[in-house]
Amino acid sequence: MEFTASHRFDRPLDQVSAAFLDPDAHVGRYDLAGDREIGILRVEAGDDLLDLTTVRTVEGDVPAIAQRIVKATNTITTTERWERADGGCTGRSEIEASNVPGTATIAATIESDGGTACAYTIVLTLALKVPLIGDRFVTLMRPKVMEIIDAEFEAWDRWFARSDVA
């Protein structure tokens, strides 16, 4: 099942894309989101490219209906690739959670939105490997998934507010 969301950064594209190509920005964002035991497993960086694999522990609030399938504490491994090209930045992420029987992928774009701002759009694809109820379960969890996406956007906003990228 796909979830699409967009967010506006009140910063120019060059500043936002530079952050998404910086492994320290990703670690900082995770820290601001309240994640713990954050580590970089692999990083390959260039002027217009970042391949990054991180691991972190995430505590979540799991609705009662989901507690048999999804646990509140997860070790999250994220493998992502960000590329800057003319007119924007694109990213692709694969997310593995230790206590969630499924897969998550994100396709993202960052595009200029008028010179002094840019739009960050993600398409999150979730697939639960639970026979008979996987898709229905993801549908029921839609409000929680959107809450997690909004928290991701807010963590980036907090990172930008604290960074030297003014």
Written in H, E and C, the secondary structure of the chain is: CEEEEEEEECCCHHHHHHHHCCHHHHHHHHHHCCCEEEEEEEEEEECCEEEEEEEEEEECCCCHHHCCCCCCEEEEEEEEEEEEECCEEEEEEEEEECCCCEEEEEEEEEEECCCCCEEEEEEEEEEECCCCCHHHHHHHCHHHHHHHHHHHHHHHHHHHHHCCCC
Question: What global pTM score does this model have?
Answer: 0.87
Which residues span the domain enclosing 13?
A: 2-162
**pLDDT per position as a tens digit, 11-59:** 999 999 999 999 999 999 999 999 999 999 999 999 999 999 999 998 8
In this structure, of 67-76, 108-117, 145-154, the range with the lowest mean pLDDT score is: 67-76
pLDDT at 64: 67
- Weakest mean pLDDT among 15-24, 31-40, 115-124, 138-147: 138-147
Domain count across the chain: 1
Give the whole-angstrom CA distance, residue 127 versus residue 131: 11
Q: Which two tokens stand for residue 109?
A: 């774009």
CATH of the domain at 56: 3.30.530.20
pLDDT band with cut points at 50, 70 and 90 for residue 101? confident
